[in-house]
Amino acid sequence: MKKKQINLEKAKTHLILFGSITDPGGGGDGGDPGNGGGGDPGGGGTQTCIDEMQAALAGQVSNISISSMTTDIDSAHRYITYTWTAYRGLFNSYQFNSVDVGYQQLVGSAWQFTSIAHQNVYLTGSTGGYTVAYIDILPPNGVVVGPHLAKMTLNFKIRGSSDCLGLPIEGDIIIDGVASKSFTV
């Protein structure tokens, strides 16, 4: 049998299998490896970046009280500004806090709710370099349940975004968050 010799200088070239120069992991879209598309879904590329972002921003809906501040309007009317956490990231790395205002009036010798209104939601903490957004799915719903009880319900989703391999990426962290908080006089 005759041995074949290979010229190693000519054999040195770049070989790309199942991907491209700009997305060596395959892009996560599957596809025919013969057309430059990815062959291994989730084998790298932008889908891996999205998965990592979703894991880093994962969290849970909550209803943890932070503070309340009472402001007198006059001797028979006041409002209380309530701040509470509606969503928090793992290990409390970041939080979306809701600010709501409950209006009360003095009836006889007891304060009673007349209304409650949502003011805003704001972000605190660290998101590890990712951009994260709170998005209302439904308008906030404030209800006076009784003279001594009011309730605020938020329906929302949390969406993350970042940059991956020079491309912008986005992904939902939670799509159907519902946080409710009750307030008493």
DSSP letters spanning 5-16: ---HHHH-----
CA trace torsion 143, 146, 148, 151 (10° rounding) = -20
Instruction: Determine contact, residues 112/105, Cβ cutoff 8 Å.
Output: yes
Question: Given this model, what pLDDT does residue 40 score?
Answer: 39
Other Cβ atoms within 10 Å of 89 Cβ, number? 21
Check residues 142 and 41 and name the one with the higher pLDDT: 142
- 151 has pLDDT over 60: yes
E strand map for 8-130: 59-74, 77-89, 94-107, 110-125
Average pLDDT over residues 111-129: 97
Other Cβ atoms within 10 Å of 100 Cβ, number? 24
Rounded distance, CA 162 to CA 50, Å?
9
Instruction: Determine contact, residues 46/164, Cβ cutoff 8 Å.
Output: yes
Rounded distance, CA 50 to CA 173, Å?
10
Rounded distance, CA 168 to CA 111, Å?
52
- 127 has pLDDT over 80: yes
- 140 has pLDDT over 70: yes
Cβ neighbors of 170 (< 8 A, separation 6 or more) are 50, 159, 160, 161
> Could you report the per-residue pLDDT of 55-98, keeping only the tens digit for each?
999 999 999 999 999 999 999 999 999 999 999 999 899 999 99
Q: What whole-number percentage of the chain has pLDDT above 90?
A: 73
Total-model pTM: 0.75
Whole-number average pLDDT of the chain? 83
Instruction: Determine contact, residues 47/19, Cβ cutoff 8 Å.
Output: no
